[in-house]
Amino acid sequence: MIQFKAPLQDINFLINDVFDFQTHYKDIPGGEEASPEMVDAIIGEAARFSEEVLSPLYQVGDKEGCKFEDGKVTTPPGFKEAYQQYMEGGWQGMTSPVEYGGQGLPQSLGLIKSELIGTANWVWGMYPGLSQGAMNTIYLHGTEEQKQTYLVPLTEGRWTGTMCLTEPQCGTDLGQVKTKAEPNGDGSYSITGTKIFISSGEHDFTDNIVHIVLARLPGAPEGTRGISLFIVPKLKVEADGSATEANGVTCGSIEHKMGIHGSSTCVMNFDGATGYLIGPENKGLHCMFTFMNTARLGTSIQGIGAAELSYQGALPYAKERRSMRALTGKKSPDKVADALIVHPDVRRMLLTQKAIAEGGRAMLYYAAMLSDKMLAAHMEGDMKAYDAWDDKLGFLTPILKAGMTELGYEAANHGVQVFGGHGYIQEWGMEQIIRDTQIAKLYEGTTGVQALDLLGRKILLGRMKSFDAFREVVNEFIKTHKNTAEMKPMIRTLKRAMLGWRINTFRIALKAKKNRDMVGSASVDYLMYSAYIVMAYFWAKMADAAHTSIKKGENVDFCTAKIQTAEFYYDRILPRTRGHASMMMKDPETLMQMEEDHFAFL
């Protein structure tokens, strides 16, 4: 069993040395409360809760799973009690607005908390994570009455939330949504339909669950232009805010899945349930993207957490397990064999895990800072600035969601490889990480869907606006550090990568004008190509900060390891871009030429 240990030194290095969160916090509302002492206390307590309460429940959730009987879901032993501690600690409302019962702290602190929780026990963390998305949606698009009614109990953790999008006949293509919303004549609506794959749709943590539901009004336009968004509580809510009788929302069943057994994935039936419109009519998908983007950024944590947790399992095993002798001669002559960690291929796998976990964490924290800026602009009523920050975050979101979940899954596989046959055995906990992480590449939009969003929507339809904004950030870093002696080799490589990224993007755009299938055929390779280059920038930033600390005589061993991991990344992982660049430039002919009937001859 893996006992998670919070990577506090790495977290502190990022927030203090790489990104200077304290300066960042001076420019955002609520940041004045995030003093160094407050930040340390919050991260330390989140680490303790994750290590001592959640980590021991990770394998319990996998073995016991959720139980379903008569429309009720019972979560694994210890899950409900852990949530009670979480609620009593005020964790759910840490970043929520003060006026609705929250503490008003920066969103970035909440994301660090979520990373710790998600790495220790991703499955448990899904329950409060879904609530956070519901809260964000209501806060940004709800009326004041809706905020008072639903945000306060959600912030306190007394209620939880979900998002209900998918239906039996449609997944990603939400234009096929059939759930109906009929006006009741009193401002409310009667919601009827079935939703599937609803995470946390039913559980025993709280009595009331607030569902954010996509549905169609009578006479609504077809497709995505005719979808509206509704708040549908499990229990009816009275004028005084109390939750009373059932509201026509029932759980029909739960799914039996490859992994995340402790998470209730539900079929939810809405039978004339009372719901309330949130946001404008027929603009539901636009409002829902608030929830979806929150979830997508959160899902990237699962990839980063998988890499971190698998690394934490694989590293001590590689140091302790003895097998064969080093090719360069015995390293432990007094032992029966040398430790696994002396073998180059084992080191390749460990360093790949380390590079993915730490590089992904840096990308996530940068995105968290953008989220802080975006919310600050919204609070100040500066919608032009809000849209600008939203564009910047939106560009990185598919790269983080898809790129980090793909790489996190790779890292989890490396962990099993380090263990060899023992990695395939359940008691070690390594194979569970693979099973649990597989879903991260699927929900909130598969890798292919995220890739189309990046290349098709953000890059081509957006006329490279968000791409150029990020490129300016990287180019400024390159310009500033091009004459720094210890950074020159890395800077030269990064500069070439950035230039190639821009040229290749233009080349794909030109090819797509002649054949639209080019977008679909190139998109996944383009996304991974982009992810490696983005991570290269953040590894360069970390290497630079590490060099600075070493010059000051601070954290020398830690910073030396950081620089060496950056060098490994540039030497062994960044070159993957060459293969992706070659493949994404291929014409789609060999993908599309085969007749459908020729795929199989049975």
DSSP readout, 181-197?
EEE-SSS-EEEEEEEEE
CATH number for the domain whose boundaries are 8-152: 1.10.540.10
Q: How far is residue 321 CA from its own chain's centroid?
A: 33
Distance between CA atoms of residues 52 and 38, nearest Å: 21
Write phi, then psi, for 39 (nearest 5 degrees): -60, -45
Crossing angle, helix 284-320 and helix 430-438, to 10 degrees? 160
**Architecture of the domain whose range is 160-287:** Beta Barrel (2.40)
Q: Is 78 left (phi over 0), alpha (psi -120 to 50) or beta?
A: left
pLDDT score for 172:
82
Closest-CA residue to 208 (of 277, 279, 134) = 134
Q: Is 237 exposed, middle or buried (0-12, 13-18, 19+ CB in 10 A)?
A: buried
Three-state DSSP at 234 gives coil
140-161 CB burial, b ≥16 within 10 A, e <16:
bbbeeebbebbbbbbbbbbbbb
219 touches 207 (CB < 8 A)? no
- For residue 216, what are its two tokens? 């169609």
Crossing angle, helix 107-141 and helix 344-379, to 10 degrees? 50
pLDDT score for 239:
85
Detail the DSSP E strand segments found in 57-188.
67-69, 72-74, 160-164, 180-183
* 589 flagged as catalytic: no
Question: Catalytic pick from 115, 167, 308, 444?
Answer: 444
Closest-CA residue to 212 (of 318, 289, 319, 106) = 289
pLDDT score for 291:
62
Closest-CA residue to 193 (of 210, 176, 205, 172) = 176
Is the pTM above the cut of 0.85?
A: yes
Supply angle C-alpha 401, 194, 63, rounded to 5.
60
Over the chain (602 residues), what is each successive 10-residue block's mean pLDDT? 94 98 91 93 98 98 97 98 97 94 94 97 96 91 95 96 93 88 97 97 97 96 93 94 93 97 98 97 86 77 97 98 92 92 98 98 96 89 91 94 98 98 96 97 94 95 94 97 95 98 97 95 98 98 98 97 98 98 96 94 85
pLDDT score for 105:
94
